Amino acid sequence: MATPHDVAGAQPASAFTGATTAGARHPALATTRSWLTTVDHKRIGILYGVSAFAFLLLGGLEALLIRTQLLRPQLGVVSAEFYNALFTMHGTTMIFLAVMPLNAAFFNYIVPLMIGARDVAFPRLNALSYWIFLAGGLFLNASFLFGTPPDVGWFGYANLTTLPFSPGPAVDFWMLSVQILGVSSIISSVNFIATVLNMRAPGMTLMRMPLFVWMTLVVQFLIVLAFPAVTVGLIFLMFDRFLGTHFFDVAAGGDLHLWQHLFWIFGHPEVYILILPAFGIVSEVLPTFSRKPLFGAPVVIYSGVLIGFFGFGVWSHHMFAVGMGPVADAAFSIATMLIAVPTGVKIFNWLATMWGGRIRPSVAFHYAAGLVALFTIGGLSGIMHASPPVDLQQHDSYFVVAHLHYVLIGGSLFGIFAGLYYWWPKMTGRLLDERFGKLQFWVFAIGFNVAFFPQHFLGALGMPRRIYTYHRGSGWELWNFVSTIGAYVLGLGVLLFLLEAMRSLRHGARAPADPWDGRTLEWRTSSPPPVHDFDAIPPVYGRDSFWREKHGDSRGQRPAPRPPTPDPHGIHLPSPSFWPIVVASGLGIAAFGAIFHIGLVLVGAGVTVIGAFAFALEHHRNPAHANQVGALGVDHRKLAMWVFLGSECFFFGTLIATYMAYKGRSVVGPHPHEILNLPLTTLSTFDLLMSSLLMVLALAAVQRGDRFQTRLWLAGTVVFGVIFLGFQAYEFTQFVHEGLTLQTNLFGSTFFVLTGFHGGHVTLGVLWLATLLVLSLRNRLDTSDAIKVEVAGLYWHFVDIVWIVIFTLVYLIP
């Protein structure tokens, strides 16, 4: 019977299947190769953490240069152009390369442990997300090496970003890297949703999950649904810059509001993506160090979910100055004020958690309590912005800079540091020095407040954002000076952490499994955990399960001990793979190619495609992978596909919305009614619908084990898919003959991009189904592979229903 504290290093009685990772308990000793091919969530978490911290330092350096330039008026520390690149890179780096991946480091390392799982649902996909993230981050910063760092702000408003106003590759670096980073995030979010929903240990119902896992889950939904909007916006920008479309071409009827809407439909959920993990960490740290359960945990969970959901309804509060009209302004203003309520609720719940608790003021506790105070300040300035009349003064001034840094540093970064101090022993097996940590905390906290509180004053004094200098006599001199001093102290605080971290790794005291008398399952295994996380899957007795096991519930009653969940097949460890890094490199190469040489794009695309095929087929016929049904009663892969399709709803939804918004606004012809061929398209619609029928017949055949019909119907679906593509190719060629190209007018731009991306999806589907057909023809597809056909089928049918919508809105409706 396993004791509450698994002994570090004890070999489990059950057999291992699959490869073990060398040096599992001492990651630093493992080979480079093992790091490059790892699929272990703990190692991937460390990779994310180390990379993100390096980018944090880089972003911090950029910030210090910015503040140095603003120390005094008319200082020439950097040129105007370089300054503009500095704030662009600082924002992009901190958001995408520092805070998000630092959060991801914790998702990766801690979430599987907290739910009593041994890894995530898709370990290789997990590695893929990391390597794609690294490719994106390196690609973005490569722009410095070429002397063309992007200089259009992290939000890249069109039309400043269009070719006439930003010739040269600077914007391309930004545009392509954000796309790459988006791909990484979306893949990762699908993975984590499947993990949290499907891989919880028996007994862990959703409401018994730790708050950090809940916030992670909400964040993953935000990521998977919000990123498509900016992906579409960036696609429009890419097409404008590379292929001459007119999405943001004012003379051709383009609307610059469109970029802002698409960007902020992503951008606002993004800020919740940045803060909710910190809220989750605080919700773990405060109860642990108050020795009290989280006050009103269900309410904190519901408010997190509400914040996530309503976060999609407030985006235009970033656009109060653009002239949307009073109705839109009022609607978004009210929605923004409403969303403050669930956030406020959490603050009160945290306060109530601490109230009456027996506080142990660890460094982690300092940071968590600090977040409660500082995020409240940031939230108050945020609420002020919710009022359009007030915002019309505050918008684009240093008041907003103060607000965003209070919520992002005082909120997100304080939360991350709380998590670092809290989980450092678990992840590294060493302790950070608590006394030095408190010094580090105060240096960081004081530096932060001195740097950013005065920026409220600067905003109130009328200082706009994103200015590389200001005048003597503007009245801004004093607070800029003070702010810069504070920034340097803040930087020192970060360095102090780095020093202590390095010392701890080398000489730090060894950490026990449960140094804090923790409440959740990760403390139930050694520090660091063995490669297989748990010798036996832990029993779950309720929320704060481990605490109950150790100390009993509120009445002191210990639960009846349950036997550990048996692992019927032994412990299966996912095997390392080098395909993730191959696929990620392909993307990186293609991105460079897009800027420098089309040949490289082909090479990169080729590497990606071949890598993706090899990745997909690597574990085909691996019996250990046959059954992946989880807690929801659904196979991981099916669950993941449905989640992905939810994301695709946003992708196509925004593409279609753009088509409709731009309908009738082309300045020159040809126009839809002059050129669309309704009878032909109706035929192709029949064809696609019938292909869906053939697809379900194929699935039924696979499920029955009928080889002949499997091949027949799969081949049929492929043929019908190719016929659809044939119709589309014919249509496109006809249109070009009749004078409609991507570049002709808004109709050409929106039509070809919308139907073209749909056609691209069909093409991918055809390739996928053809692969399954080939496997079947080689007798390598049978009943146990039915799930793969089912998942392919879901994708195929989805592409069909998107066409149903396109057919109606583009072709049928006049």
Kindly list the catalytic residues. Answer: 90, 119, 154, 184-185, 268, 270, 272, 283, 317-318, 343, 346, 465
Q: How many residues bind another protein (CB under 8 A)?
A: 99
Of 18, 344, 357, 464, the one binding another protein by CB under 8 A: 464
Interface residue with another protein among 138, 160, 359, 446 (CB under 8 A) is: 160
* Position among 498, 626, 764, 804 found at the interface with another protein (CB under 8 A): 804
Q: How far is the CB of 393 from another protein (least distance, A)?
A: 5
660 binds another protein (CB under 8 A): yes
Q: Which stretch binds another protein (CB under 8 A): 270-278, 483-491, 765-773, 803-811?
A: 803-811
Provide the token pair at 638: 């099916």
Binder of another protein out of 29, 207, 678, 764 (CB under 8 A): 678
- Determine contact, residues 203/539, Cβ cutoff 8 Å: yes
Work out whether 79 is an interface residue with another protein (CB under 8 A).
yes
Residue 248: what are its φ and ψ, rounded to 5°? Answer: -115, 30
181 contacts: CB under 8 Å, gap ≥ 6: 96, 97, 132, 133, 136, 137
Q: Which is nearer to another protein, 256 or 601 (CB)?
A: 256
The β-bridge partners of 629 are 635
Smallest separation, CB 49 to another protein (Å)? 30
Choosing from 173, 350, 476, 662, the residue that interacts with another protein (CB under 8 A) is 662
DSSP-assigned letters across all residues of 702-746: HHHT-HHHHHHHHHHHHHHHHHHHHHHHHHHHHHHHTT--TTT-H
| Min CB(291)–another protein separation in Å | 35
Under the criterion CB under 8 A, does residue 337 sit at the interface with another protein?
no
- For another protein, the binding residue among 261, 268, 637, 761 (CB under 8 A) is 261
Q: Does 192 bind another protein (CB under 8 A)?
A: no
Binding mask 424-463 for another protein (x = CB under 8 A): --------------------------------------x-
Cis ω before 745 (30° cut-off from 0): no
Which of 616, 700, 722, 725 touches another protein by CB under 8 A? Answer: 700
Nearer to another protein, 257 or 503 (CB): 257
Q: Residue 203 Cβ, how far from another protein at the closest point, in Å?
A: 18
d(CA 280, CA 165): 42
Among 35, 302, 312, 488, binds another protein (CB under 8 A): 312
621 binds another protein (CB under 8 A): no
Quick check: helix, strand or coil at residue 779? coil
Residue 321 binding another protein, by CB under 8 A: yes
Nearer to another protein, 438 or 465 (CB): 465
326: buried, middle or exposed (CB in 10 Å: 19+, 13-18, 0-12)? exposed
- C-alpha–C-alpha distance, residues 223 and 277, integer Å: 12
Q: Identify the residue among 24, 225, 418, 521 touching another protein (CB under 8 A).
A: 225
| Closest separation in Å from C-beta 269 to another protein | 11
* Binding residue (CB under 8 A) for another protein from 595, 656, 781, 789: 656
Q: Please, what is the minimum distance in Å from the beta carbon of residue 287 to another protein?
A: 28
CA 561 to each of CA 7, 207, 513, 541, 544: distance values in angstroms, whole numbers, following the listed order: 18, 21, 20, 9, 15
The reply on whether position 654 binds another protein by CB under 8 A is yes
Give the nearer residue to another protein in terms of CB position, either 347 or 801: 801
d(CA 63, CA 491): 9
Residues forming a β-bridge with 464: 397
Query: At its nearest, how many Å lie between another protein and the CB of residue 597?
Result: 28
CA distances 302 to 107, 234, 343, 347, 390, Å, are 20, 33, 11, 14, 30
Q: Can residue 355 be called a binding residue for another protein (CB under 8 A)?
A: no
Cα–Cα distance for residue pair 101/106, rounded to 1 Å:
9
Among 56, 89, 229, 443, binds another protein (CB under 8 A): 229
Token pair belonging to 233 = 């916006």
Count of beta carbons in the 10 Å neighbourhood of residue 564: 15
Q: Is 682 in the site for another protein (CB under 8 A)?
A: yes
Interacting residues with another protein between 771 and 790 (CB under 8 A): 790
Angle of the 746-777 helix axis to the 786-806 helix axis, nearest 10 = 160
Least distance CB 804 / another protein (angstroms): 5
Window contacting another protein (CB under 8 A); options: 152-160, 169-177, 404-412, 740-748: 152-160
The CA distance from 120 to 113, in Å, is 10
State in angstroms the smallest separation of the CB of 449 from another protein: 25
Q: Rounded to 5 degrees, what are φ and ψ at 475?
A: 90, 5
Among 242, 442, 596, 686, which residue interacts with another protein (rule: CB under 8 A)? 686
Query: Binding residue for another protein (CB under 8 A) from 36, 693, 712, 723?
Result: 693
Report the SS3 class of residue 17.
strand
Which run of H or E residues covers position 572? strand 571-572
- Minimum gap (Å) between residue 159 Cβ and another protein: 6
Is 794 among the residues that bind another protein (CB under 8 A)? yes
- Omega cis (within 30) before 564: no
Q: How many CB atoms lie within 10 A of CB 381?
A: 18
Q: For residue 701, which amino acid is it?
A: A
Contact (CB, 8 A) for 295 and 352? yes
Question: CA gyration radius for the chain?
Answer: 27
73 lines the binding site for another protein (CB under 8 A): no
Interface positions, 554-583, toward another protein (CB under 8 A): none
| 369 sits in which H/E element | helix 363-385
Tell the smallest beta-carbon distance from residue 297 to another protein (Å). Answer: 22
- 664-699: burial string, b at 16+ Cβ within 10 Å, e else: eebeeebebeebbeeeebeebbebbebbbebbebbb
| Part of the chain binding another protein (CB under 8 A), chosen from 423-431, 494-502, 580-588, 806-814 | 806-814
The least CB distance from residue 44 to another protein, in Å, is 25
Q: Please pick, from the candidates 112, 254, 508, 721, the single residue that binds another protein as defined by CB under 8 A.
A: 254
Position 157 contacts another protein (CB under 8 A): yes
* Residue 609 vs residues 430, 551, 601, 603: alpha-carbon distances, Å: 42, 54, 12, 10
Q: Is 462 or 606 the residue whose CB approaches another protein more closely?
A: 462
Q: At what angle do helices 123-145 and 170-198 cross, to 10 degrees?
A: 160
Annotate each residue in 377-416 with x if it binds another protein (CB under 8 A) or - if it does not, as one string: ------------x-xxx-xxx-------------------
- List, as one string, the DSSP characters of 448-499: HHHHHHHHHHHHHTTPBSS-S---TTSS-HHHHHHHHHHHHHHHHHHHHHHH
Site residues (CB under 8 A) for another protein, limited to 81-110: 81, 84
Nearer to another protein, 774 or 812 (CB): 812
Question: Binders of another protein among 624-653, rule CB under 8 A?
Answer: 632-634, 638-639, 642-643, 645-647, 649-650, 653
Q: Which is nearer to another protein, 21 or 750 (CB)?
A: 750
Please identify which residue in 50, 250, 330, 478 interacts with another protein, judged by CB under 8 A.
250
Q: Is 28 exposed, middle or buried (0-12, 13-18, 19+ CB in 10 A)?
A: exposed
Q: Pick the binder of another protein from 657, 675, 767, 770 (CB under 8 A).
A: 657
Do 205 and 702 meet the contact criterion of CB atoms below 8 Å apart? no
Nearer to another protein, 106 or 259 (CB): 259
Q: Least distance from C-beta 489 to another protein, angstroms?
A: 26
Rounded to whole angstroms, the Cα distance separating 647 from 190 reads 9
Contacts of another protein in 510-539 (CB under 8 A): none
